[in-house]
Structure 1
């Protein structure tokens, strides 16, 4: 079984970890792995590819991502895998390096869902470069702390135009009859959100993506949050607006997610790799 933290497939050095602790320039993705496979793996790979090119100018490529992921999870039946991109050549004084980033893999036990229901508060906030799952998380952690201190479970971000965007660690979906409405605003497109969208036709639900203003959320029948650790969690209220949340509709959303089969990390044609992953 491999070490918990690897850098380009080798045990992490103190210098590598020191750089990660001191310079938060980079991006990551994280997800549950079971028997060498993960739901939405294609989307996680695409996220890493986009971030690598945008932030560093070059990507290790899908084959290398898969190799390093497989090495990280080898010998484990189930775990949580975080894949991070960084470069020791980039720092506060020297930000101009262009080239292939290092890949850090971190394996840990899978976390439980965020909650089984939440009451949230809306706050004005826009993440920097919101389309990226980057390492600059100060703002969202601060927002969660403030929400908890105010008696809520979490915070919902609203942009400068009053549009609902995303939660601190999750995407939000609204239920309107037989339709799931995803808000359109500067935000991170979630993998779980995409998996649910893929499966909605199978459960008889339609979907729409459009701007949703905070002052119109009371018109919806329900709301839920979703992320890789929490496929569906009902939102009972946004500030003073409460939602009934029909259990049947929420169950359909979860079925839409679960209908998307886990994808093997190892290449289908790599029989040796599949064997190493216990498949």
Structure 2
């Protein structure tokens, strides 16, 4: 996969890339872009703004985020955009700098969904600062490798209190009748999860968020994972518990997601915005 990388709208320098390779302090979001628009863009922008303030003390702001995103995807019909925040002034020996982070945009071909169905194993693990989509991914990659080695497709995280939280790269939803039940635990609030929640009333389904213990998941009729590349994917088993997922109901869940219209990154009716897009 070949990516085009810009930092604050300019070609990436070797120094900036070296810092990214050696220091994993930062945050990011990533999503599919089609014709200059993305589903849940407002949520991705909010995620970046929150992370920038929490990790660096200052945010570039929505206008600047949009400008840099538009510059990155200009001239492309469909692509995958990753927007990362980092500061070359922050490192292992000098962590105290406060100020606006740099914005790295990486554009690559859109990846396929994770799978058409998955078997997962539950593992005790809690991501550091789980509410952030940060760059520290050692634990989740290690858990995913271990799950594959044990004959599963992926890993589902369970916290110290025995509560289901999230998967390695995804959120999980459980099906109970005509209701989707989301786990409540320290975790990353997924954009795709939020888009599904927005659209469920449009397809005749409801949702609820509550703590879900691993030892009670047998009460559910089905389960699925979701992330920006995979709106809905059935989970067929968790450990040795099998789910008989209802394909028609899961199609409704995906319809709830697809009913959320893509939001334009830049205002194409604005002459200045069009010039920034290079169109």
TM-score by length of 2: 0.97
2:189 is matched with: 189
Distance in 1, Cα, partners of 2:85 & 2:267: 22
How far did residue 54 of structure 1 move? 0.1
How far did residue 274 of structure 1 move? 4.3
Residue 262 of structure 1 pairs with residue 262 of structure 2:
yes
Distance in 2, Cα, partners of 1:131 & 1:91: 22
| CA 1:178–1:146: 2 relative to 1, 3 Å | same
1:221 is matched with: 221
1:71 is matched with: 71
**Conserved 8 A contact 2:67-2:276:** no
2:136 is matched with: 136
Residue 84 of structure 1 pairs with residue 84 of structure 2:
yes
SS state of the match for residue 96, structure 2?
Answer: coil
Aligned runs of 1:51-130 on 2, under 5 Å? 51-130=51-130
How far did residue 272 of structure 1 move? 4.3
How far did residue 267 of structure 1 move? 3.0
SS state of the match for residue 132, structure 2?
Answer: coil
Distance in 1, Cα, partners of 2:241 & 2:59: 44
| CA 1:150–1:263: 2 relative to 1, 3 Å | same
SS state of the match for residue 5, structure 1?
Answer: strand
**Conserved 8 A contact 1:36-1:277:** no
Q: Structure 1, residues 164-209: CA drift from partner, whole Å, max 9, x if none? A: 0000000000000010000000000000000000000000001000
Tell me the matched-pair count: 277
SS state of the match for residue 233, structure 2?
Answer: strand
1:163 is matched with: 163
SS state of the match for residue 166, structure 1?
Answer: strand
How far did residue 270 of structure 1 move? 2.3
| CA 1:75–1:216: 2 relative to 1, 3 Å | same
SS state of the match for residue 202, structure 2?
Answer: helix
Residue 152 of structure 1 pairs with residue 152 of structure 2:
yes
How far did residue 278 of structure 1 move? 8.6
| Structure 1: segments with no counterpart, 5+ residues | none
SS state of the match for residue 195, structure 1?
Answer: helix
**Conserved 8 A contact 1:140-1:168:** yes
Distance in 2, Cα, partners of 1:205 & 1:274: 39
How far did residue 269 of structure 1 move? 5.2
SS state of the match for residue 130, structure 1?
Answer: coil
SS state of the match for residue 237, structure 2?
Answer: strand
Pairwise CA RMSD: 1.3
Distance in 2, Cα, partners of 1:132 & 1:217: 26
Distance in 2, Cα, partners of 1:235 & 1:155: 11
1:40 is matched with: 40
TM-score by length of 1: 0.97
How far did residue 273 of structure 1 move? 2.4
SS state of the match for residue 100, structure 1?
Answer: coil
2:200 is matched with: 200
2:243 is matched with: 243
SS state of the match for residue 91, structure 2?
Answer: coil
SS state of the match for residue 60, structure 1?
Answer: coil
Distance in 2, Cα, partners of 1:268 & 1:235: 40
Q: Structure 1, residues 23-61: CA drift from partner, whole Å, max 9, x if none? A: 000000000000000000000000000000000000000
Distance in 2, Cα, partners of 1:257 & 1:90: 38
